[in-house]
Amino acid sequence: MLTLLPLVACAPPSTLGGYTVVAEDGALTLTDSRGTVLVDGLRFSVGEGDESLEMQSGSYRQVDGGTTWTSVSAGRPYGRDPVLTVPLLDDGGAEIARVQLSLLGPDVLRVDLAGGGNRLRWDAPCTGDDAFVGLGSHVDVDHVGEAFPLWVSEPGVGKVDSDVQPDDWYLTGTRHATSFPDPFLLRPEPMGLAIGGTSRIEVDLCTDDRWTVDVWSGATSFLVFSGPSPLDIVEAHALVSGVPILPPDWAFAPWNDAVGGSARVREVAATLRAAGAPSSVIWTEDWKGGEETSFGYHLTAEWTLDETLYPDASAIDAELEDAGFKWLAYFSPFVAESSAAWAEAEEYVIQTDAGEPYLFLGITFDPTSVLDLSRDDARAWAERKMTDALALGFDGWMTDFGEWLPPDAALESADAVDHHNAYPGWWQATNAGATAGLDAVTFSRSGWTGTSTLSPITWAGDQRTSFDTDDGFPTVVPLGIGAGLAGVPMYGHDIGGYNSIGNAPSTKDLWFRWCTLGAFTPVMRTHHGAFKDDNWQFDSDAETLAHYARWGEIHTALFPYLRGLAAQATEGGTPLVLAPFLLYPDEPWGRSDAWLLGPSLFVAPVMEEGATGRDVALPAGTIWYDWWTGAPAESGWVDVAVEDLAVFAPAGAVLPLFAVAPDTLVTGSIDGLTTLDDADTARTIRVFAGAAGGFTEADGTTYTTDGVADASGTTTSTFTAGTLSAGGLTLTIDGTVERAYTLQVYR
């Protein structure tokens, strides 16, 4: 034992690339090439756990068992570039686990941890001014002082304000129950930590004097990110997770749901076009059937067209195509015992230990199972059904659920606990396989690391149709910020909400407010909600329809900006929805009342029922302008009528917009409609003076400002490449096609 004390108590520094690794008093200190201490006093433990989990309605609770932990001491690091090894020693000096450190890049350190048990722990001291953001899509942004699992689950119908499960745990969610956890967190050093694999993870983020990460595995890896700024780390993590796939251009125009049968689909399409409301998508989730129940309008468990509701699907598809619409459907991985699909898919569903189909009560309280997507033949069966839907004329669908894999299920080629968090990825990969290479789109709500490489769009889930702060309208802002931190570039939410169990249906006031925020979200989509006949809809009255048409035009006009941001996401990993602190270092890390849509739009929605405005705290460090008027803006109370939205632009912002919003972002020539091709011939470039700026569109067109504006001004010209000047400022445009450009300078 005495011979080991020098190894454990004070080992000399070791280097790995630009990193320094020091083992002292049994703990590690990691310092990056900039001299930033990323983590100090890092300790590890190994454990043996026998926890048992129960599932009901896609929610989970621990019913018995626990983990016995053994603390270990970090010994002297040995080895040299490219790998350092740190032995982890028990009290007797025996090595019972080890850490290996290697470089993935100048700012990414990989830490591989393996021990003799089936649980591993990383823990480090709290500093007193900690912040922990990320970890997926949650109803809060900064999770300091909280402890919760990262485990794909139903988020609940409403939430309690803690992570202690209520008596009705199978219905009401905890604060951090989510369909989209993500094992990546960001700290203010700045330092990012990504936990590899798909095992269950439990975090405790300074409820005591240390923050801990427990992994339900005997071997795992961590990626430690450093960088000049938090945004650099977010971008690096996104790129390491994989290049996101993006939806086709038409997905950037508004989407509208239409359910209840052929007549309603035609009515929605005709109403939108008559109102001049831009839209490129009609979404019909009940294409496979729906029924009214005591808890709302819910879909049947079928996998094929309901020919009673939609006897003329091919005719509808042709009519929608002629009117500039794409048509979307719906799929989930459920297979109900009572469905026609059961006879085909029974052999492909998850099993019990006895080798029988594993059944539980599904969404409609029928005996139901889910596909065993660890099986290639189960995926192939689902893809065949999806291909049949494409043959009917559908152009994609919602890929719903992915949370309902029971931990005691028997899978053909995986363990249900170890791969529970992998199930959303399996489901998304199945859908991606069916649509690969096609002009189609899918969108999902469940996720884990890598979701954006498989699913083009993530939406927030089933919020309450209310202003409730636990899971209503106000939560779509932190949920979107969390999705962005997780590497999701394309985010959306149900305008008007979905759930009306425990709260009233949506009101006109709520719908107006939600619609305005939807317009300044990457994907703008309506939803009828569970109680479709009680909820307020986009066409409930003439005023609402006009409101929707106005905001649909605003959203569609943003296409050159949004599509440019999406292209930048694939190249640099920058999400479209940004937490304000990522660009403004003085901003609180936990801020959840506003977001940045790209670098140039600060969006501050009113999220309180009956409010006529709100206090807006504009980030320090720049001059701000009112987006609508171009007038200089300051923090403070802002009057915001129910039909409006508070949006601001910083000095240096350069935003290309369509000069005229088209009816659809579908390409080609359509009689009586303006399409993407028509709108693409002209741009309005809004420039906010006070700092240099620029922007690059997806097609490679670049905009660069020069000079100091001494006045507001407007000028217009037509060219492929050239300059425009107004108010003393010059905008240089290097384009790819000839366009009519209008420069608007605000000072």
Alpha carbons 196 and 220: distance in angstroms, whole number: 6
Q: For 289-314, what is each residue's pLDDT tens digit?
A: 999 988 899 999 999 999 999 999 99
CATH topology classification for 2-189+191-226: Beta-galactosidase; Chain A, domain 5 (2.70.98)
Residues of the chain with CATH 2.60.40.1180: 582-650
pLDDT of residue 8: 44
Is pLDDT above 80 for 4? Answer: no
Q: Which stretches does DSSP call E strand in 504-660?
A: 525-526, 577-578, 595-597, 602-604, 613-616, 624-626, 632-633, 636-639, 646-650, 654-658
Is pLDDT above 50 for 348? Answer: yes
Confidence of residue 235 (pLDDT cuts 50, 70, 90): very high
Distances (CA, A) of 157 to 69, 168, 171, 175: 35, 10, 6, 11
Confidence of residue 417 (pLDDT cuts 50, 70, 90): very high
Percent of the chain with pLDDT over 90: 96
Q: Can you tell me the mean pLDDT for 422-426?
A: 98
Residues of the chain with CATH 2.70.98: 2-189+191-226
Is pLDDT above 50 for 736? Answer: yes
pLDDT of residue 116: 86
Q: Can you tell me the mean pLDDT for 318-324?
A: 98
Helix (H, G, I), strand (E, B) or coil at 343: helix
Q: For 558-597, what is each residue's pLDDT tens digit?
A: 999 999 999 999 999 999 999 999 999 999 999 999 999 9
Q: Can you tell me the mean pLDDT for 552-556?
A: 98
Q: For 210-223, what is each residue's pLDDT tens digit?
A: 999 999 999 999 99
Under the phi-then-psi rule, with left for phi > 0, alpha for psi from -120 to 50, and beta for the rest, what region is 119?
A: beta
- Domain 249-334+375-574: give its CATH code: 3.20.20.80
Q: What is the mean pLDDT of the chain?
A: 96
pTM: 0.97
pLDDT of residue 3: 34
Q: How many other C-beta atoms lie within 10 A of the C-beta of residue 148?
A: 21
Q: Can you tell me the mean pLDDT for 485-491?
A: 97
Q: Which residues contact 315 (CB under 8 A, 6 or more apart)?
A: none
> Locate tokens 């305005």: which residue?
516
Q: Which stretches does DSSP call E strand in 143-227?
A: 146-150, 181-187, 191-195, 201-205, 210-215, 219-225
Q: Select from 707, 697, 706 the least CA-distant residue to 735.
A: 697
Q: Give me 566's structure tokens.
A: 């999406």
Confidence of residue 364 (pLDDT cuts 50, 70, 90): confident
pLDDT of residue 81: 81
Alpha carbons 350 and 372: distance in angstroms, whole number: 5
Percent of the chain with pLDDT over 70: 99
Confidence of residue 11 (pLDDT cuts 50, 70, 90): low
Q: Which residues contact 493 (CB under 8 A, 6 or more apart)?
A: 459, 460, 463, 476, 479, 480, 518, 521, 525
Q: For 626-655, what is each residue's pLDDT tens digit?
A: 999 999 999 999 999 999 999 999 999 999
Encode burial over 720-732: b for 16+ CB neighbours within 10 A, e otherwise: eeeebbbbebbbe
- Domain 582-650: give its CATH code: 2.60.40.1180
Residues of the chain with CATH 3.20.20.80: 249-334+375-574
Burial group, residue 292, by CB count within 10 angstroms (0-12, 13-18, 19+): exposed
pLDDT of residue 10: 57
